[in-house]
Amino acid sequence: MLMQVARLYDFGDIRLEHSPRPQPGPDDLLVRVTACGICSGDIMPWYIRRKAPLVLGHEPVGVVAETGSAVRNFHPGDRVFVHHHAPCFDCVPCRRGEYVQCATWRASHIMPGGMAEYFLVSPANQRDTLKLPEGLDDLDAVLVEPAACVVKS
């Protein structure tokens, strides 16, 4: 089954393409995107050129479409915000609160990105996946990660 993605090839060159819809493994979530924020890093040519081609979008909100057979904390229909990186909370940098120095944080991500119809959420990222309360609009919920950055700073 195919889905649409917005794939960035260069600054100013973003193409709508068809891509295979990800299939969740036993420990994964498949989330259908309902909204996605645009980060300041997404509009910085020096930052995104070195990553291209890629599907941007690391401030996504969506609805759990499918869960792997081993997933217990999420269910189809749950509205969620998914952080694109997830620390291990156990290494030396994590114990100091320096999550961006964590090897797990650096290696974790959502696939392919929030500028797609669907994306996968790994077990590591599920730890920082938030179920959204009723009454919180999707367009407001995309601000969860930027608000967390402000609080952390």
Give every CB contact of residue 16 below 8 A, 6+ residues apart in sequence: 4, 5, 6
- Which two tokens mark 109? 């991500």
pLDDT at 64: 99
Residue 66's nearest CA partner among 27, 110, 12, 8 is: 27
Specify the length of the chain in residues: 153
- Which two tokens mark 133? 């309360």
pLDDT at 81: 96
Per run of 10 residues, the mean pLDDT along the chain (length 153 residues) is: 95 94 97 93 81 91 98 98 90 93 89 96 92 96 86 74
pLDDT at 147: 82
Give CA angle at 26 (25, 27), nearest 5°.
Answer: 95
CATH code for the domain of 107: 3.90.180.10
Given a contact cutoff of 8 angstroms between Cβ atoms, the answer to whether 8 and 14 are in contact is: yes
pLDDT at 135: 95
Count how many domains the chain has: 1
What span, in angstroms and rounded, lies between the C-alpha atoms of 117 and 62? 9
Residue 61's nearest CA partner among 84, 79, 45 is: 79
pLDDT at 12: 85
Q: Which domain holds residue 66?
A: 2-152
What span, in angstroms and rounded, lies between the C-alpha atoms of 60 and 38? 9
pLDDT at 29: 97
pLDDT at 96: 95
pLDDT at 100: 87
